[in-house]
Amino acid sequence: MLAIFAAGFVVVCFCSISHCALTDLPLQGKPSSQSSTATAYSGTPLSASLALDGKPSLTSFFDLSCTHTVTERDPWWKVDLQSTHCLGEITLINRGDCCGERLDDAAVRAGTNDDIYQNGICGSRVTSAQASILGGLTTITCDPPVVAQHVSVDLVGGSEILSLCEVAVKEYPMKECLPKTTTLAPSVAPVTPMGPTFTRNCMSTLVYTETCMDNQPLASTHAASPMTCFMECRRHDNCTSFDYVITSRRCRFFNAEDWKLVQQSDCLMYKVACGLPKQKCT
Domain of 24, CATH number, reads 2.60.120.260
**Statement to judge: residues 81 and 201 lie in one domain:** no
> Does 199 share its domain with 263?
yes
Beta-bridge partner residues of 165: none
Contact 152, 116 (CB under 8 A): yes
Asked if 262 and 165 sit in the same domain, the reply is: no
Could you tell me if 154 and 246 lie in one domain? Answer: no
Cβ-Cβ contacts under 8 Å for 66 (sequence gap 6 or more) = 46, 50, 51, 58, 59, 60, 95, 163, 164, 165
Residue 1 counted as domain residue: no
Helix H or strand E encompassing 227 = helix 226-235
**138 & 221 share domain:** no
* Shared-domain flag, residues 138 and 214: no
Torsion angles phi and psi, residue 52, rounded to 5: -125, 25
In a domain? residue 12: no
Give the whole-angstrom CA distance, residue 146 versus residue 197.
33
76 and 29 fall within a common domain = yes
pLDDT computed for residue 234 by the predictor:
74
Position 6 in a domain: no
Per-position pLDDT tens, the chain of length 282:
333 333 322 223 334 444 458 999 999 999 999 999 999 988 999 999 999 999 999 999 999 999 999 999 999 999 999 999 999 999 999 999 999 999 999 999 999 999 999 999 998 899 999 999 999 999 999 988 999 999 999 998 878 999 999 999 999 998 888 765 433 333 333 333 333 333 323 334 444 433 445 556 777 777 777 777 777 777 777 777 777 776 667 777 777 655 544 444 445 555 544 433 333 333
Does the CA dihedral 171-154-99-142 come out positive or negative?
A: negative
Q: Which of 111, 146, 177 is the last residue of a domain?
A: 177
Residues 47 and 148 occupy one common structural domain: yes
Q: Are 194 and 232 in contact (CB under 8 A)?
A: no
Residue 219 lies in a domain: yes
> Which domain covers residue 256, as residue numbers?
191-273
Q: Is residue 103 part of a domain?
A: yes
Q: Tell me how far CA of residue 103 lies from CA of 191, 193, 250, in angstroms.
A: 54, 50, 29
CA distance 145 to 257: 25
Domains: count for the chain: 2
**Whole-model pTM over 0.75:** no
Locate the DSSP E strands across the chain: 10-12, 23-25, 32-34, 72-73, 76-93, 107-111, 120-121, 137-154, 159-160, 166-172, 182-184, 203-209, 219-222, 241-245, 250-254, 267-273
AA letter at 185: A
